[in-house]
């Protein structure tokens, strides 16, 4: 499997189903996504962590996406931003366009293929440089330390795309139970 850089994305989206869809799609590739549900939480995250890209909804509780754009901390001031909005917010889109780091806006519902294209443009990478984790299935393989003559272990290969830590631990435990 070729090694590719991982890009960090902050997603500010209050709608859990939209957020889950976006996270699932982005994490299929070499993107790490931090999700927050409002502009205040996004601002706090941006004070602690430097991101490669910001995706923000406009209509969020506590602090709208538009207001959030004005409060991005210096650490992430140069981070490219993609604005997510609904079609009836034309004035908001125009206002958001005045932000120098706004590189694109997408109308909801989000077309994930267009989103990937816009993200790649914003990051200056080619879409064919992304790693599709689904192409590298996850495997648990046994191995023995032959140089010392003792010890049995496992080798994890591939990518555990879409699997939680709990699910991975469960699969590893099942593997050992099955092989003992």
CA nearest to 29, candidates 140, 145, 115, 154:
115
Encode pLDDT of 118-157 as tens digits. Answer: 999 999 999 888 888 777 777 777 776 666 655 667 777 6
Cα distances (angstroms) measured from residue 91 to each of 54, 55, 66, 123? 21, 19, 11, 27
Quote the pLDDT of residue 59.
82
pLDDT in tens, 27-86: 888 898 999 998 888 888 999 999 999 998 888 888 777 778 777 877 777 899 998 887
DSSP the chain: ------EEEEEE-S-HHHHHHHHHHHHTTTEEEEEESSHHHHHHHHHH---SEEEEESS-SSS-HHHHHHT--GGGTTS-EEEEE-TT-HHHHHHHHTSTTEEEEEESSP-HHHHHHHHHHHHT--GGGS--GGGS--EEEEEE-TTTS--EEEEEES--TT--HHHHHHHHHHHHHHH-
The pTM is what?
0.74
Q: Could you tell me the domains of the chain? A: 7-129 (3.40.50.2300), 136-179 (no CATH)
- For residue 36, give Cα distances in angstroms to 9, 135, 148: 11, 29, 48
């Amino acid at each position: 499997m070729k090694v590719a850089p991982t890009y960090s994305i902050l997603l500010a989206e209050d709608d859990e189903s939209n957020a889950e869809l976006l996270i699932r799609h982005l994490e299929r590739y070499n993107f790490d996504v931090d999700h927050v549900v409002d502009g205040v939480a996004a601002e706090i995250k941006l004070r602690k962590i430097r991101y490669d890209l910001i995706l923000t909804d406009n209509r969020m509780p506590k602090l709208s996406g538009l207001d959030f754009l004005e409060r991005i901390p210096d650490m992430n001031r140069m981070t490219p931003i993609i604005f997510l909005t609904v079609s009836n917010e034309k004035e908001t889109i125009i206002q958001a366009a005045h932000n120098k780091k706004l590189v694109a806006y997408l109308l909801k519902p989000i077309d994930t293929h267009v989103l990937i294209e816009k993200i790649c443009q914003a990051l200056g990478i080619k879409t064919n440089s992304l790693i599709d984790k689904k192409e590298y299935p996850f495997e648990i393989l046994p191995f023995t330390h032959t140089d010392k003559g003792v010890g049995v272990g496992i080798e994890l290969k591939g990518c555990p795309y879409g699997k939680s830590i709990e699910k991975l631990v469960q699969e590893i435990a099942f593997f050992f139970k099955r092989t003992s």
